[in-house]
Structure 1
């Protein structure tokens, strides 16, 4: 039986609503003021909330604001009950996140119709989210073994060698095997972190409210410093300072700095990984005539075929010659997911045994709110 919370300070109206809902096989709870309504909502976790606007202690707007802070309640359908004289305030209620409103006095049919429409819509959203989570689960089940097998096999083989032959090995041989174990465990840790990030991004993309919240925020990420600083740090670690070529135009993009950092991390990591010392890695930025921000990361190296590019979204290994254990395909999928959140895009052009060009396009951020 679906549970409905009615927050209404006029007791006769509240009783009438309860009677109508009870006769339609709903379980109805009544709160006589806003504060009690908040407490009952958190305690009872109703499937839908009907709330008057003008009430003592806390009005309907304050109730809605408070409930939107509770992750368990925020997505529940919320319908305002309002007198005809309150009609100019409808927009305020909708902007705060109300799903609908009923104007007093209303008929039993109007009440039940509003309730049924919102419950049906909520059921469809829940079913869609359930299906998307199931699809995500299947994706992970299929792709995770491919990512885990290589480092796990390296760890198992090294452990077996130590277990069988440690007594007859030299110190140098033991150190060499220990180094293999350390590298494999680090790879496994990196893969785990990437999968956690991938799941987090997928959950954001399936949560329309969270997605809307992120996109509505005016981010002001300055790209030049991040690109120049991080590329030099990565190059120094690999003793490839001479390989970096920067042609950077200052851009302010509409993306959180932490997310832009993740994109840069993945793309530069791949650029270094799939090129040799002495091969140039170019990082270019510019603003196009249509006010879009462009980032190009170009590396000379082994490149990819069309078939290999297609396999990226399926997390499939390209061939045994690539060090796929570090999650090359998954890293690019993470980049694509972040870009999808911020309504950006990515294009990849690659030529086998030549070069790979990754082109990122993002909307500009404003320097003024």
Structure 2
């Protein structure tokens, strides 16, 4: 295995180098995060062992920079730390570090950590590579990062709990369990989106029963209100709806609405408005979600597809880029139309669902 050691203490660097080379690994050395990042860019390693407190660029900063680079971010990253620094590792685990090694260390501790990382990541790596083969290399890199990062937090948090099982304090245990829970919930959300997207893709090729009916106002108010409450931004939400009975499957409408409203809140800051409207137009019912946050160009709007994440580098976007694709697929399955365009004045996004409704509800209201 090709291993990069980033450690500012020369004696520790060379002890690690000797241990690893004796166990058949190829080693590259760096004295700080700046040198380590340059070495990783020049020749990507298969594992990084990195101290936390270093001059010029510390371990946290190096991990953050590593994760910005598609060609580097799935590399396992292990922190080296003194006993006194153990609590600070929680920050690293939240950032996606794979494990930690406490100084002073023994040869067996080093080799055990490396072996454990190799074993627990291999099934995940195999699955990601299988998915990557169906898409472009760039998309595959995004997949592997997003699928691995939550699991790094889970596995890293569990490793800390196991290592400190005999001495850990209740408050520290609760904090670590919180990290594990957050990682698990994020992984579940990503997996659920993948499943939902492929379910909708299969439904596109099958006839769907359009005898279902649902109340437009109930669905809009329920979905938009729930997301605003979860975002703790109820005051930023405006809802204006005309009553209507839609001729669509309610669960699929909820999927489309959820993605559009969640997307609007995700790409706006607290204090920025999100407006959801429902109105009749030419015998149909239009649901519009309008925000004034991070927008998209006309070209990006025309290119919406699964696994496309527009502005990831500009806005540090996370996720698999499935939200708008799910909304479009759900709209198509229920006999509707989906469109997006830049928001007013080129700010934010204006998304529209054009849906079938009953003749009675489509009549003008007086």
TM-score, normalised relative to structure 2: 0.53
Partners of 1:173 and 1:311 in 2: CA distance: 46
> In the superposition, relative to structure 1, how do residues 145 and 307 fare at CA in structure 2: closer, same or farther (>3 Å)?
farther
Distance 1:331 1:157 in 2: 28
1:312 and 1:150 map into 2 onto residues whose CA distance is 25
Gaps of 5+ in 2: 1-130, 362-366
Compared CA separation, residues 366 and 356, structure 1 to 2 (3 A): same
- Return the alpha-carbon distance in structure 2 between the equivalents of residues 312 and 256 of structure 1: 24
Match of 2:219 in 1: 226
Alignment length (residue pairs): 226
- Is 1:246 matched with 2:239? yes
**Where do 1:114-193 residues align within 5 Å?**
138=134, 142=140, 144-163=143-162, 171-193=170-192
Counterpart for residue 69 of structure 2: none
Matched, 1:319 2:300: no
Q: Which has the larger radius of gyration?
A: 1
1:227: Cα distance to partner?
A: 1.0
Structure 1 portions without partners, runs of 5+: 1-134
Matches within 5 A, 1:1-369: 138=134, 142=140, 144-163=143-162, 171-206=170-205, 210-211=206-207, 213-214=208-209, 217-288=210-281, 290-305=282-297, 309=301, 312-317=304-309, 318-319=311-312, 321-325=315-319, 327=320, 329-350=321-342, 354-366=347-359
User: Using the alignment, how far apart are the partners of 1:164 and 1:309 within structure 2?
Assistant: 49
CA shift, 1:312, in A, is 4.4
- Kept in 1: contact 2:248–2:334 (CA 8 A): yes
> Could you say if the C-alpha distance between residues 248 and 341 of structure 1 is closer, same or farther in structure 2, counting changes exceeding 3 Å?
same
Q: CA deviation at 1:356?
A: 1.5
- The CA distance in 2 between the partners of 1:254 and 1:314, in whole Å, is 26
CA distance in 2, matches of 1:306, 1:164: 52
- Give the drift of 1:188: 0.8
Secondary structure in structure 2 of the residue aligned to 1:188: helix
Structure 1 residue 338, shift from structure 2 partner: 1.2
- Contact 2:196–2:326 (CA<8 Å) still a contact in 1? yes
Aligned equivalents of 2:332, 2:132: Cα separation in 1: 16
Assess if the C-alpha contact under 8 Å between 1:220 and 1:366 holds in 2: no
Give the 3 Å change call, closer, same or farther, for CA 167–322 of structure 1 in structure 2: farther
Asked whether the equivalents of residues 286 and 294 of structure 1 are also in contact (C-alpha less than 8 Å), the reply is: yes
* CA–CA distance in structure 1, aligned partners of residues 159 and 302 of structure 2: 37
For the structure 1 residues 138 and 310, does the alpha-carbon distance in structure 2 shift closer, same or farther, using more than 3 Å as the test?
Answer: farther
CA distance change for structure 1 residues 335 and 164 in 2, over 3 Å: closer, same or farther? same
Query: How far apart are 1:306 and its partner, in Å?
Result: 5.2
Q: Whole-Å Cα distance in 2 between the matches of residues 163 and 176 of structure 1?
A: 14
Indicate how the Cα distance of structure 1 residues 349 and 171 shifts in structure 2: closer, same or farther if over 3 A, else same: farther
In 2, Cα distance between equivalents of 1:149 and 1:312: 24
Question: Per-residue deviation at 1:348?
Answer: 1.5
The CA distance in 2 between the partners of 1:285 and 1:274, in whole Å, is: 21
- Separation in 2, partners of 1:188, 1:340: 27
Is this contact kept in 2: 1:218–1:365, CA < 8 A?
A: no
TM-score between the two structures when normalised by the length of structure 1: 0.52
How far does residue 226 in structure 1 lie from its aligned partner after superposition?
1.5
- Name the structure with the higher helix share: 1
Q: Structure 1 residues 227 and 155, CA, compared in 2 at 3 Å: closer, same or farther? A: same
